[in-house]
Each structure stands twice: as structure tokens, then as C-alpha cells.
Structure 1
Amino acid sequence: MEITPLLWGITIAVIVGLLAFDYFFHVRKAHLPTIREAAVWSAIYVGLALLFGLMFFAVGDTAHAVEYYAGYITEKALSVDNLFVFLVIMASFKVPREFQQKVLLFGITFALISRTVFILLGAAIIEAWSDVFYLFGIALLLIAGQQLRGELTGDKEGKDEADNVMVRLARRFLPASEHYDGDKLFTRENGKRLLTPMLLVMVAIGATDILFAFDSIPAIFGLTQEPYIVFTATAFSLMGLRQLYFLIDGLLDRLVYLSYGLSAILGFIGVKLILHALHENNLPFINEGENVAVVEIPTNLSLLVIVIILAITVAVSLLSPKGKALRALQNAERYAYRYSKLAEDTGVSDSDRVQAEQFMDDWTRKAEAVAPKYRDELLEHKDKYSDIIRTAHETRLASARAAGREAGESEKIVKQRGPTV
């Protein structure tokens, strides 16, 4: 398939149009998207990405189709991992839930712009010096090793520290109000025009996006050297990421071994890059500047390996004792909080209330049965979880007493300090 300037122009226009649609029709009015809304739009964006790849198959360009899908899946996985860091930054700025959509969309837009610049630079460097693949490969191996080391030793401060630096710099050089004014970027206090925390968090996320490009761009150049494929795979992997976050909210945290999977993928692509560099070698101190007879890893095999690694990572995360423990702790808080809100609604039927109580009781028992080693590792704010669950059971006990019903289970919990979670 011939990559023409017209094709480039049409593709860029479509991407810009999709972003504009999101800005004007989804985040213009701050709101918390429903599961249905997030599911529908996630399906639409994923569907568009998959259909785009079929375009290459339609014209008989199987090689570019496989490269596109391999790049798309890899970039999508890395983008989901980046969401964790976005959440750290938003938590630092205490971004209200209904405003998180706009922050995420800004982060996606900035990521698309910054990575486009890196893609153009990368393509120019490869054109001028093909041995740059040695550097790309070594960089990915180092990143994979550092990420794996952080998981094995429990020392994850490297990535978090970078986020904290961005947050501190934003606060230091951009003095702003301590309070949000809706989703506005500027506000007035005592007659003085100030930046709002909304703008600060966008600056912090934008700066952090630049760091992500250092593993993202070399990784996809390890799968294809066609700039158009690199750009489209990256762009479509970012589109719909905002909706995906709200769709799998809570599931993100349960992917407890995602970092291991991403380390394996980055390491695999790093090896692939180095093998490619050896095969196209021009460095005089390696094999006297001649190509080295090594076996290169074909892209279709790379796609298969990446899919298998991600599938194993997700399955192990969700089925492992650690993943199940986190699910119990999260659901104990979630259903306790939902019951508290339900109890305030006088229009709720008795059957709905009884069902909510049952869910709350079941997950509270499961949370209390979680092994202490997982509880200590997974819960950063133990008192918060205890207070939320305790408050819900106190609400239930008060309601039961008022109705003259027996409430033995809740009374036991309330008599204690609260659930051990």
C-alpha cells in the first residue's frame, strides 16, 4: 500500500475530528460517565482501530496490517499502564471525579502531540543512522530491567518520584488558587486572577507524558519502521483511553502483575531491535562493519508473543490470591458506600435494600478474611476503608432498630472498632 501525502492528510483530519468531537460533545459539560456510556464509546473507538487495520488487508498489504496490529496492542498496553500515573497526579491535586474526564482527555491530546514529534524525530534519525536501533534496543532492555527490579524489590519510587517532581515544579512555578472553580482553568480571588488546580494538573500530566514517550516510541519502532504505521497505531491506541478508564474503573488496580507483563514485552522488543541492528550492522567495531548473520524475529511472531504475554498477565492478575484479595477489599468499600447512599434514598424498595445489605455483608466477610500480608501491602489507607464500612453498618443498624428488626450481624461489627480492613 502506497503511503501518500493525501492519505496522511485524511488520517490526520480524522484523528483531529475525533478529538474535537470528544471536546465539544463529551467533556464540554463536566459529568461522570455512566458504565453504558463508557462501554459504548470504548467499543466504538476499539472498533475503529480494528477496522483501520483491515484497510491494509483489503489492499493486500498483509505486512503493514500485522505491523499495525502489533504496534496498536503494544501501545494500548503501555497507555493503560500510563493511566496509573495519571491517577497518582490527579490524586495529588485532589481532582473531583466529575472533572477527571477533561484532565484525561487533555493528557491524551498532549500525548498525541508529543509522540508525533518523537515519531518524526525517530524516523529522521533512523533514516540518517540505521545503527540507532542498538540504542533503542539497549534503552528498552534497561527500562524493562528497571521496571522488573522495582516490582521484585517493592521499590517503585523511580516512576512515582518523577511524577512528584512534575507536581512540585508545577506548584512552584505556577502559583495558583488552592480551590477548584468548576472545571475552569482560571479564577479570581480578592480581585486577583489566578490559575486553578485544574490547569496545574494538566501541566503536570503534560510534562509527564514526555517521559512516557521514551519507552513508547522505541518500542513501536521495534515493530515497524514505517512512520505512518507508527503514527496511526499510537494515535488509535490513545483514542478512547478516557472512556476505557471509566469502563474498567477498579479493574485497573486488580491488574497487579501488569508491570511484569509490560517488562517482558519491552524486553522482548529490545532483543528484537538489537537482532535487527546486528542484521543491518554498519558499526566498524562489530564484525568489521559487516552484517551479522543472526535470525530476526518476524513481526507476525512478535504479535503472537505480545498477545500471549498480555493474556497470561491479565489471567494471572485476576486469578492470583493477590488479585482476589484486592477485589475483596475494593468491593467491601464499594458496596458499603453504595449501601450508605441507598439508605438515604426513601424511594428505594425493600427488595433492593435487602439485596444491597446482602452484597455489603458478603464482601465485608470476604475482606475480613484476606490474609494480613495482602491487606498490609494493598491498603494504603486502612482507616479509610474501616470508616467507610463501619459507617455503612452503623447506618444499617440504626435503620434496623427503627424498623424493629433483628440486626445481629451489623451490631457485632459496630461494637468492634470496625472491620479489620
Structure 2
Amino acid sequence: MHLSVWLISAAVVLGLVIFDFYAHVRTPHAPTFKESAIWSAVYIALAIIFGIVFLIVVGPEHGGEFFAGYITEKSLSVDNLFVFLLIMTSFRVPRENQQKVLLVGVALALVMRTAFILLGAAALNAWSWVFYLFGAILLWTAWKQVKPETEHEDKVPGGAVVALFKKVVPTVDEYNSDRLTVKKNGKRFLTPMFLVMVAIGFTDLLFALDSIPAIYGLTQEPYVVFMANALALLGLRQLYFLIGGLLDRLVYLAQGLGVILAFIGFKLIFHAMHVNELSFINGGKHIEWAPEIGIATSLTVIIGTLAVVTVASLWKTRRDAERGILDSDGRPDLPEPDRADEPAVAAADAAVAEKPGGSSQAHES
């Protein structure tokens, strides 16, 4: 893609980030459902319009690659919202300040992913074995997605980095609106707003290690990779507030993403076989029998998997709600221990009260 196209596209993306800041984030407030829905639809519409124009200008192959890449990145970003929610909860970020945190996270992700995109393109052009590496990364990521939840680490990504940061830099524990620093007794301190942005930025870096190989499994055109990532990320802030309450209902999302990532991982490995130059694999010769998976097949698998995941998740949450396993919001409906044990506790208290001095002992306990 010509340099001028890159520069114009980068300027438009930067302009959208700046617009987002001044139009919605500069004044701290908690967005309404209507506001989030409208702007989510706007950013999705922008991606669709870009994809259609791109398809007409460059042809169906790269156009199809863009849509496959965009859908994959958007799906991965929905999964990332779970982690963002965990971070926001861990840092107790006030709802009206969460927009700023997310927008800064989007900006950091765009910068870091652009660097990864350019490095990935250079690596793929220089060494064909990188396709094997990217494929292995995706297969490992797919396994992490589908393994039982009990095996996942229940930690905030970037927590160790933030803990180290707090040891070397003066910080305070209370928020001061959306300010990043505060001055106390003539000394400057960092607020939790700054620390949560560090956590979000580090998390975006980890996400890039998965998402960039995933989209390079669908296209080797860096411009398509950049635009699919940028347009998927730009609506992430609005998507967070729009579907935050629905995330608990997508119970099979992790498994669905695992299937998609595994599919792309195998696709990358098959492509690596076709351009194989490693001497210890088939004597350094290309492996022609390996299947080449076209973009139409990729789109079908990605969209089909997401459709099955959505239908199956909604069916399960509805069935569990009918059986009383979930409440009306789609969350686990667990009995309250105190109320469940009330008869036993009352009986024990009565037995103690019957003994001499029992009432006093009961009060002391």
C-alpha cells in the first residue's frame, strides 16, 4: 500500500481518537445505554463502509481479508472486556472516570499494535519460519481459552508491574476526580488513575501478542492488519458500556474464541509448510500437500463459530435461569449462607440460653 494511503489512514484514526476525547471523555461522566449504543453503531458502520469501499477499490480478496480480520479482532476485543472489567473492579475506578481509562487504553493499544504490525510484517518477509511461530502461539492461546476456569490465574494482568511501579514512585490510594497526579505537602504523587492506565497499557501489550499473529493468519498485508485493528479498537470504549451487563451471558465465548484461534493457528502452519525453508522439515523443501485455506472458508468458520457461540450461550443462560441456577440478570443465583443457616443458628442460641449464664455467654461470642 502506498505511503500516502498509510499517512491519510493514520491521520483519520488519530482524528477519531481526538474527537472521542473532546466529545465524550474530556468531561467525566457515566455514559447512558443510549449514548453507548449510538456510538457503537457509528463505529461499526464506519468499519463496514470502509470495508465495502476497500473491497471495491482493491478487489474481493483483500476486502474479504479485511472483514475476516475485523470480525476476529472485534471478537477478541469483546473477550478483552472481561479483563478490563476485572481491572476496573480491582482498582475501584469510579464509573464516570472509566471512559478516560478506556480511551487511553485504546490509544496505547494503537501505538503498540502498530509497532507489532510493522515488526511482524518485516519478520514474515525475512523469515518464513515465523509462520510456524505465529501458528504455535495461536494454538497455545487457543488451549488457554478453552481449558477449565479453575486453571486460570485469578489475577489482574499487569498487577506485578503496577506493584513494582508503586514501590519506586510516590502514589496515593484515593482518586482525585480524573487527575493523574496530586500535590500534597509540596510533593507530587501519582493517583490510582495513573496506575490503572499502566495496568490497562500492559494488558493491551499482552493482548497484542495474541491478536497480531491471529490476523496475520488471515492476511499478510500490513495495511489490512492495521485498519482491522484500528477500527476494532476505536469502538471498544462504547462497547464496554453497552454490553457490560451482557458479558456474563456469553458463557461459551472463550471456547468459541479458542476454536477460531486454533483454526487460524493451523491455517498459519499449513501456509508455513507451503513456504517452508527449514532444513529439518522435509529437507527444507516446500510441502505442497498441505491444504491452503481461502479467505471465504475463513470467513465462514469465524462467523459460523460466533453464531453458534451466541445461540448456545443464550440458550444455556435461559435454561439455567428457568432452573433457578441464574438470576434474572444472568448471574449465578446462590443461596445466602446466613439465611440458609438461620434455623440451626436459632436452635444453638436457644440451647445456650437455657444454660445458667447462657445469655451472657451468647452475647460474648
Do they fold alike, i.e. is TM over 0.5? yes
Task: Identify the match of residue 148 of structure 1 among 143, 146, 149.
Answer: 146
* Amino acid in structure 2 at the alignment position of 1:36: K
Distance 1:69 1:233 in 2: 8
What does residue range 16-415 of structure 1 map to in structure 2 within 5 Å?
A: 16-59=14-57, 61-151=59-149, 154-157=150-153, 160=155, 162-293=157-288, 294-321=290-317, 324-325=320-321, 328-329=326-327, 331=329, 374-375=332-333
User: How far 1:87 sits from its partner (Å)?
Assistant: 1.4
TM-score by length of 2: 0.87
User: What secondary structure, in the 3-state scheme, does the structure 2 residue paired with 1:225 have?
Assistant: coil
- Kept in 2, the 8 Å contact 1:256–1:322? The answer is no
Aligned twin of 1:347 = none
Distance 1:177 1:329 in 2: 38
TM-score, reference length from structure 1: 0.76
Shift of 1:60: 5.3
- Percent of aligned positions that are identical: 53
Is 1:254–1:323's contact at 8 Å kept on the other side of the alignment?
no
Partners of 1:304 and 1:271 in 2: CA distance: 16
CA distance in 1, matches of 2:238, 2:107: 14
Q: Report the Cα offset of residue 161 of structure 1.
A: 5.7
Cα distance in 2 for residues equivalent to 1:161 and 1:91: 10
Q: 1:254 to 1:323 in 2, by over 3 A?
A: farther
3-state SS, counterpart of residue 249 of structure 1? helix
Q: How many residues align?
A: 336
Alpha-carbon spacing, 1:161–1:295, altered in 2? closer, same or farther (3 Å):
same
Cα distance 1:327–1:208, how it changes in 2: closer, same or farther (>3 A)?
farther
Computed over aligned residues only, the root mean square deviation of the Cα atoms, in angstroms, reads: 2.2
Deviations 1:98-134 (A, max 9, x none): 1111111111111111111100110110111012100
CA distance in 2, matches of 1:296, 1:259: 26
Structure 1 gap segments, 5+ residues each: 333-366, 368-373, 387-421
Post-superposition offset of 1:324: 4.7
C-alpha deviation, 1:216, in angstroms: 0.5
Counterpart Cα distance in 1 of 2:182 and 2:299? 49
Q: Secondary structure in 1 aligned to 2:164?
A: helix
- CA–CA distance in 1 between the matches of 2:217 and 2:17? 27
2:326 touches 2:333 (CA, 8 Å); kept in 1? Answer: no
Note the residue ranges of structure 2 that are not aligned, 5 or more in a row: 340-365
Structure 1 CA distance for aligned equivalents of residues 205 and 292 of structure 2:
30
**Deviation string, structure 1 residues 21-47 (Cα, Å, up to 9, x no partner):** 011111000001111111111111000
Separation in structure 1 between the aligned mates of residue 147 and residue 95 of structure 2, nearest angstrom? 33
CA distance in 2, matches of 1:223, 1:60: 16
